């Protein structure tokens, strides 16, 4: 697509404004978490600072999870940052990190309701009553297989080595570069940005689904974003923006359910010993409500605008996280 000189200048000015606004917002956002966390520990933890996670913390975790889970900006990365900024007591870190995966149950339920027609179609397909649903179901299974096979073997390494500020900052920045490249590549083949052209889910093949599934495995690195990797994968196999997002959401139902179930089973005793059931459930409900709003917004925005704004957001956030790491803010 060819831009005139004035339009190009105007575009650059708008991008610069987006970048500055995002950087300021992210900085205030995370620093507010840090301040809120200190006040929460001081107010609820008493002298020893070992209070269990309260409703305030659960609300923050639920809101962050719901808003970011299906946006291409990494929900796990944001939740880890929130946990660090909320000053989680050291003896509860394992329980809270497990909860950061289990809380995805709320977002899963929200998407299942929003895409209930597709979910029902897949279920009917496996009973031989809906050929299109059966085809979609097998594509989703093939896309899920890589994560199902690799996830259990990588879980301990990821939890011990990659849940930190520096790995998250790296993943955020690398993801921004990948998204920029994918969006630029798409615009060369689909130059009319206002039209969301491309393949439908009926055109998706099993090898293409498996390819998307392997890209999803990269998102096990906190800060990468499962949504980002699967949407980019959809781009690369020729899906339209809206259909790439739809396949990402439907695949998320399977992947996130498996991840939350696995973490819930393996860390159940740790969570029940350290966390109260009330805040845990409350956080999941908040995650569900905010995820529904986030998904509806993303589908409409992505079809018209693409991934550009999320590139700038990830770059801004990676710089903020790098600052947290450099100055030792925890």
Mind listing the pLDDT tens digit for each residue in 246-301?
Answer: 999 999 999 988 888 888 888 888 888 888 888 888 999 999 999 999 998 988 88
What secondary structure letter does DSSP report for 51? P
CA distance 120 to 197: 26
pLDDT given at position 191: 61
Read out DSSP for 147-186? HHHHHHHHHHHHHHHTSSHHHHHHHHHHHHHHHHHHHHHH
pLDDT given at position 195: 52
- Minimal CA–CA distance to 122: which of 111, 130, 113? 130
pLDDT given at position 218: 93
Q: Per-residue pLDDT for 33 more than 80?
A: no
Share of the chain above pLDDT 70, in %: 81
Share of the chain above pLDDT 90, in %: 36
pLDDT given at position 277: 85
- Minimal CA–CA distance to 120: which of 131, 111, 107, 133? 133
Q: How many domains are there within the chain?
A: 1
What would the mean pLDDT of 151-163 be, rounded to a whole number? 84
Q: Which domain holds residue 308?
A: 30-37+53-326
pLDDT given at position 99: 81
User: Which uninterrupted H or E stretch holds 243?
Assistant: helix 241-266
Read out DSSP for 86-117? TT--GGGHHHHHHHHHHTHHHHHHHHHHHTHH
For residue 44, being part of any structural domain is answered with no
Q: Per-residue pLDDT for 226 more than 60?
A: yes
For residue 48, being part of any structural domain is answered with no
For the chain, first and last CA: distance in Å? Answer: 45
What would the mean pLDDT of 226-238 be, rounded to a whole number? 94
For residue 20, being part of any structural domain is answered with no
**Band of residue 329 on the pLDDT scale cut at 50, 70, 90:** low
For residue 70, being part of any structural domain is answered with yes
pLDDT given at position 181: 94
For residue 9, being part of any structural domain is answered with no
pLDDT given at position 157: 87
Q: Per-residue pLDDT for 38 more than 70?
A: no
For residue 3, being part of any structural domain is answered with no
For residue 19, being part of any structural domain is answered with no
Q: Per-residue pLDDT for 8 more than 50?
A: no
Most confident of 18-32, 187-201, 203-217: 203-217
For residue 166, being part of any structural domain is answered with yes
**Mean pLDDT, all residues of the chain:** 80
**Band of residue 52 on the pLDDT scale cut at 50, 70, 90:** low
What would the mean pLDDT of 56-64 be, rounded to a whole number? 88
CA distance 83 to 70: 19
Q: Per-residue pLDDT for 173 more than 70?
A: yes
Whether the model clears a pTM of 0.95, i.e. scores above it, the answer is: no
What secondary structure letter does DSSP report for 239? B
Q: Per-residue pLDDT for 161 more than 90?
A: no
């Amino acid at each position: 697509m060819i831009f005139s000189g004035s339009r190009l200048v105007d575009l650059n000015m708008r991008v610069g404004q987006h970048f500055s606004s995002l950087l300021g917002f992210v900085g205030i956002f995370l620093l507010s978490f840090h301040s809120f966390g200190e006040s929460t520990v001081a107010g609820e933890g008493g002298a020893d600072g070992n209070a269990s996670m309260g409703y305030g913390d659960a609300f923050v975790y639920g809101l962050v999870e719901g808003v970011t889970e299906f946006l291409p900006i990494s929900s796990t990365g944001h939740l880890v940052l929130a946990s660090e900024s909320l000053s989680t007591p050291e003896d509860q870190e394992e329980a809270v990190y497990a909860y950061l995966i289990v809380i995805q149950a709320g977002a899963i339920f929200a998407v299942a309701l929003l895409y209930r027609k597709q979910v029902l179609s897949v279920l009917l397909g496996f009973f031989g009553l809906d050929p299109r649903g059966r085809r979609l179901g097998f594509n989703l299974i093939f896309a899920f297989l890589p994560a199902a096979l690799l996830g259990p073997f990588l879980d301990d390494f990821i939890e011990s080595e990659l849940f930190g500020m520096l790995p998250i900052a790296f993943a955020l920045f690398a993801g921004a570069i990948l998204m920029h490249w994918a969006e630029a590549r798409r615009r060369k083949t689909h130059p009319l940005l206002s039209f969301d052209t491309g393949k439908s889910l009926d055109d998706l093949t099993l090898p293409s689904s498996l390819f998307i599934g392997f890209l999803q495995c990269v998102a096990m690195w906190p800060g990468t974003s499962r949504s980002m990797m699967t949407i980019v994968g959809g781009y690369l196999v020729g899906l339209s923006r809206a259909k790439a997002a739809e396949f990402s959401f439907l695949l998320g139902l399977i992947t996130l359910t498996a991840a939350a179930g696995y973490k819930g089973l393996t860390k159940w005793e740790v969570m029940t010993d350290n966390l109260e059931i009330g805040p845990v459930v409350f956080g999941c409900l908040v995650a569900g409500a905010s995820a529904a709003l986030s998904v509806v917004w993303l589908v409409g925005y992505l079809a018209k605008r693409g991934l550009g704004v999320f590139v700038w957001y990830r770059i801004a956030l990676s710089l903020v996280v790098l600052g947290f790491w450099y100055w030792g803010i925890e």
